[in-house]
Amino acid sequence: MALKALDYDTLNENVKKCQYAVRGELYLRASELQKEGKKIIFTNVGNPHALGQKPLTFPRQVVALCQAPFLLDDPNVGMLFPADAIARAKHYLSLTSGGLGAYSDSRGLPGVRKEVAEFIQRRDGYPSDPELIFLTDGASKGVMQILNCVIRGDGDGILVPVPQYPLYSATISLLGGTLVPYYLDESQNWGLDVNNLRQSVAQARSQGITVRAMVIINPGNPTGQCLSEANIREILKFCYNEKLVLLGDEVYQQNIYQDERPFISSKKVLMEMGSPFSKGVQLVSFHTVSKGYWGECGQRGGYFEMTNLPPRVVEEIYKVASIALSPNVSAQILMGLMVSPPKPGDISYDQFARESKGILESLRRRARIMTDGFNSCKNVVCNFTEGAMYSFPQIRLPPGAIQAAKQAGKVPDVFYCLKLLEATGISTVPGSGFGQKEGVFHLRTTILPAEEEMPEIMDSFKKFNDEFMTQYDNNVGYSRM
């Protein structure tokens, strides 16, 4: 039979190559089981509202008024909405050229970009230029835009941490580039060793690859580690020496669950390093409304800030952003609200502070419950989730289980996660979807299930795991640590 213009055989090979584990086999099986009526606990995606987190009141009040501006003309509006929400809605509407139904500038509303720049300046103590900030439909779109500008072909390599968030591997495949892995060290709480980076770059170069950029995810997904200032400084020096653009994925900057290493942005560290680094290292930093205590994943709001990119490059990035006309305008307003939330003394401040503190404190407790729960299981070891929204335990699989997986035609960690799903309804992502060292197995869960359900979830995990281990245990030849 003649091939159609768009047949599987004629599909762009890069599309076929691209893998996206977070919505892969496990997710599909979980969706099937759900349709069959089984209760599924979706811990595969960092999607807080899907697991019951309530939206923060103030930002939703403002966006609701922006969506329905006729309410602002209603004489009773003050009975439903606080005065500061009404004032903010009027402020944001005045920044648009026709409300939420009108396209904005392709870089985002200038007024919101100015608010983002002011936030960065307050956070870091160094100036930020709104002209170098682009608003995007979630951080993902920003990452894709920048990788699209960097990758010219398969000779271009991007250093990506392993384990990594599959946005990076998938986008690099789609764009036809080459992923150059550098391994995070599990025995050092998923720390980053610059010597590993050197080795990765040397190896890639020996294969004729031009390494062009490096990704860091801080705090880490799926690994949950928070980089120290000293570590970021080393990375920036490395990028300077090796002439790499640093892509700083900082979407979890509000999600910190330890006090020793508060979040510090790559931009701040860079500025503090002074000359020649502060003017020499090219950096693009990403942020989002999807994470933190906001968790507004469905709204699709994000931004990136460019440092030390030449004006002609910024112009070209603007040109390419213009192809999609405009980022989502209501999400731009949410971003504006995220970077300039109610201040002490504002009518809505107390409620906003109470709600956000409640979410963050609960996440911190959940991070602890999960880590402790995993570490109480047979053949499971787990680093503490210092930040972000995930737990990434290592599962030491007995040879019997590896053998059984082979017979079932499954990768061992996929086999384990499928069995876990069938037995408990807990839907996780196998570590192989994020990359891991050969012969080592993990899974990723989010720490997002409701706190009151957490003990029961961990009990049911432990029961499954310990029985699984007993079933396949013959005490020899475990997958290595």
Ligand X SMILES: Cc1ncc(COP(=O)(O)O)c(C=O)c1O
Q: Which is nearer to ligand X, 286 or 416 (CB)?
A: 286
Taking the C-alpha atoms of residue 416 and residue 163, their distance in angstroms, rounded to an integer, is 18
**Does position 165 bind ligand X by CB under 6 A?**
yes
| Min dist. Cβ of residue 22 to ligand X (A) | 8
Ordered strands of the 429-430 beta sheet: 390-391, 443-446, 429-430
**Does position 297 bind ligand X by CB under 6 A?**
yes
Which of 217, 281, 337, 402 lies at the binding interface for ligand X (CB under 6 A)?
Answer: 217
**Does position 221 bind ligand X by CB under 6 A?**
yes
Closest CA to 232 of 261, 200, 252: 261
**Does position 436 bind ligand X by CB under 6 A?**
no
**Does position 290 bind ligand X by CB under 6 A?**
yes
- The number of residues making up the chain comes to 481
**Contact between 311 and 318 (Cβ < 8 Å):** no
| Min dist. Cβ of residue 355 to ligand X (A) | 20
Q: Which is nearer to ligand X, 44 or 383 (CB)?
A: 44
Q: Which is nearer to ligand X, 157 or 248 (CB)?
A: 248
DSSP string over 390-458: EE--EE---HHHHHHHHHTT--HHHHHHHHHHHHH-EE-EEGGGT---TT--BEEEES-S-GGGHHHHH
| Min dist. Cβ of residue 231 to ligand X (A) | 17
Residues 240-259 that bind ligand X (CB under 6 A): 249, 251
Residue 341's SS3 state is coil
Q: Which amino acid is at 170?
A: A
Q: Which is nearer to ligand X, 130 or 163 (CB)?
A: 163
| Min dist. Cβ of residue 399 to ligand X (A) | 33
**Does position 288 bind ligand X by CB under 6 A?**
yes
| Min dist. Cβ of residue 463 to ligand X (A) | 29
| Min dist. Cβ of residue 300 to ligand X (A) | 7
**Does position 178 bind ligand X by CB under 6 A?**
no
Residue 305's SS3 state is strand
Tokens of 314: 């910024």
Question: Phi, psi at residue 298, to the nearest 5°?
Answer: -75, -15
Give me Rg for the CA atoms of the chain: 23
Size of the site for ligand X (CB under 6 A): 14
Task: Give Dmax (Cα) for the chain.
Answer: 76
Residue with tokens 């019997």: 400
| Min dist. Cβ of residue 254 to ligand X (A) | 13
Q: Which is nearer to ligand X, 44 or 479 (CB)?
A: 44
| Min dist. Cβ of residue 284 to ligand X (A) | 13
**Contact between 231 and 242 (Cβ < 8 Å):** no
Residues 117-146 that bind ligand X (CB under 6 A): 138-140
Taking the C-alpha atoms of residue 464 and residue 402, their distance in angstroms, rounded to an integer, is 17
**Does position 172 bind ligand X by CB under 6 A?**
no
Measured from the Cβ of residue 202, the count of other Cβ atoms closer than 10 Å reads: 10
**Does position 43 bind ligand X by CB under 6 A?**
no
Q: Which residues bind ligand X (CB under 6 A)?
A: 46, 138-140, 165, 167, 217, 221, 249, 251, 288, 290, 297, 302
